[in-house]
Structure 1
Amino acid sequence: MKIARFVSMASAVLLIFVMGFIQASNVCAADRAPAPHQQSSDTADRTPHIAIPDSKLARDAARYIRHSEGEFLFEHSTRVYCWAALTAQRNGLPYDPELLYVAAMFHDYGLTENYAQSHLRYEVDGANAARQFLRSHGVSEAASEQVWLAIALHTTNGIPAQVSPLAALVAQGANMDLVGAGYGDFTAEQRDAIEMAYPHPQDFAEVFMRTLYDSLKHRPETTQGTGLADVMAYEDPHFVRRDFSALMRNSPWAARK
């Protein structure tokens, strides 16, 4: 009997020890950060301040845009996302990282050779493509429409901020990367980190304006009344900006008087 009791007690102690070991192992495993999934080279996060989304949606968008646009516009779009996300964090604006990333990726997609025959505004071409991409990934119509508006309006200053935080962020990110709008709102550390990861080429302004011109010279009418008309005039000495005042003075209403 004594031997049986001893064996029973020993078994109970051993069971408690084993259970304690398993529980401790589980706690340690929970405390350890899980190993991150290996990121695609298209979305690999190279900035210490902003996490680029590493979801299937984001990876597919990055791969699609990099293949269609090339490295120059892809890196510009990535910087736009970074500036936009930092702006959101600084100003406490709510945003969905995936939607912001897709909007940033597609905001210049209308400049690609896919639209060499289009006579829509290039912003609309990019917005349409982004909406189709989101629909193909099962994203809701409401969310897809937000991205559509953000891209379609990103060159129309004064409007995006009144539409949605997403639209405001895409426009602000693009303006920061193109003309340095809000440059002083970012710390030197933030600017240096993004520039180190996705640097502006030394001839960025000239290359970007030439890219705009090459993509829009067959549809110059779509640039009238926008800042893109300035690019057209810079690249083409024969381009004539529309004079809205002259249109009013020479309209059929004025001519009949």
Structure 2
Amino acid sequence: MVTNAIPKSALARAATELIRDTESDMLFAHSVRVYLWAAMSGKRRGLRFDPELLYIAAMFHDLGLTPQYKDSQLRFEVDGANAARDFLRSHGIAEAEVDRVWLAIALHTTPGIPEHMHPEIALVQSGAGMDVAGRGFDDFTQAQREAVISAYPRGRTFGTRMIDTFYEGMAHRPASTFGTFNDDFLAFKDPTFERVDLCRVILSSKWEG
């Protein structure tokens, strides 16, 4: 049963309670699914990872999109990473492990880098990519997909709701999306949004004066 794959430690239970009380039902279920996809992927690929740390990273990875960060100007990924760091430190977790979780969350929307790092870091990104955009969909059997979705339903409108959640979590801090694909959410939802063009930034810098 897929729910048996979720860590049962006191730390994992505390994280579950915190995230359930903070995130919407949609984001909570998404976060659990991210862990399940990530853990299955890690086992299939023969990676050695700490299930508890992977679970914490998955549960906190989208926390920065919640209303409690409505005044933050940091990237939402950094807000979630900082919250996970505080949580882990409060439970006496070693700094090396705290750093791995911080990086897993902070880099989960950064393509091309996490997959070359520690398994927990690589797997959070792959789990999120699977759940949001279906990346690696065919790497899972139909039975695996059905088991996860049955335990933690995704719903037919998940894509639209997730785009709305990204937009609501970042509309107040558009500058934080520069250099990431997060500006796609702002451009999709707000026709007046203007992306920063790095070429123009370079050519208009004082070096070019």
TM-score range, shorter chain: over 0.9
Match of 2:41 among 81, 84, 87: 87
Per-residue Cα deviation, 1:140-196 (whole angstroms, up to 9, x for no partner): 111011000100000001111222111000000000000000111111111111111
Give the TM-score taking structure 2 as reference length.
0.97
Q: In structure 2, how many angstroms separate the alpha carbons of the residues matched to 1:162 and 1:92?
A: 15
Note the 1:219-234 alignment, pairs <5 A: 219-234=173-188
Partner of 1:47: 2
Task: Indicate the structure whose relative CO is greater, using CA pairs within 8 Å and at least 6 residues apart.
Answer: 2
- Report the AA paired with residue 195 of structure 2: R
Pairing 1:185–2:139 present: yes
Match of 2:56 among 99, 102, 105: 102
Give the TM-score taking structure 1 as reference length.
0.79
Flag structure 2 segments of 5+ consecutive residues without an equivalent: none
Q: Kindly, what percent of the aligned residue pairs are identical?
A: 53
Q: In structure 1, how many angstroms separate the alpha carbons of the residues matched to 2:117 and 2:207?
A: 34
Q: In structure 1, how many angstroms separate the alpha carbons of the residues matched to 2:179 and 2:186?
A: 12
Partner of 1:212: 166
Per-residue Cα deviation, 1:109-146 (whole angstroms, up to 9, x for no partner): 11111111110100000000001101111111110110
State the structure with more CA Rg.
1
Pairing 1:158–2:131 present: no
Q: In structure 1, how many angstroms separate the alpha carbons of the residues matched to 2:26 and 2:189?
A: 19
Q: Could you list the runs of 4 or more consecutive aligned residues of structure 1 that deviate by over 6 angstroms after TM superposition?
A: none
Pairing 1:66–2:31 present: no
Partner of 1:238: 192
Flag structure 1 segments of 5+ consecutive residues without an equivalent: 1-45
Pairing 1:147–2:132 present: no
Aligned residues: 209
Pairwise CA distance, 1:253: 1.5
Q: In structure 1, how many angstroms separate the alpha carbons of the residues matched to 2:74 and 2:58?
A: 20
- Report the AA paired with residue 116 of structure 1: K
Pairwise CA distance, 1:227: 1.2
